[in-house]
Amino acid sequence: MTIEQAQQQVDQWIKTVGVRYFNELTNMAMLTEEVGELARIIARRYGEQSEKESDKDKDLGDEMADVFWVLICLANQTSVNLTEAFQRNLEKKNLRDKDRHRQNPKLY
């Protein structure tokens, strides 16, 4: 599935099953909430915090997909083509950062 197809599928789902998009501020709050859930699992599973019993069965990929879903909702309702935006972002990183990380002694 391409990013464009994902945007189309989310839009179709919202319009048929979800009734309508939540407003942008609600979706921004939901995105923050989903990122927080993802951060909690990563901090406890890979970081120094102990993992709660209730988090041990959480699917990391599912939590990432929740973040992606809400991000797609925000992109759709603000008319952002994520494929084009991501391509521009890669070009920017390739120009701006092409030597930066190789010259960082902290990475070696």
Using 50, 70 and 90 to split pLDDT, how confident is the model at 16?
very high
How many helices (H) and strands (E) the chain has is answered by 4, 0
Whole-angstrom distance, CA of residue 106 vs CA of residue 99: 14
pTM: 0.89
H/E element, 17:
none
What does the domain layout of the chain look like in residue ranges?
A: 3-83
Q: Which CATH number among 1.10.287.1080, 1.10.3720.10, 3.50.40.10, 2.40.37.20 corresponds to the domain 3-83?
A: 1.10.287.1080
What are the pLDDT digits (tens) for 35-93?
Answer: 999 999 999 999 998 988 888 899 999 999 999 999 999 999 999 999 999 999 999 99
The token pair at 54 is 């209730």
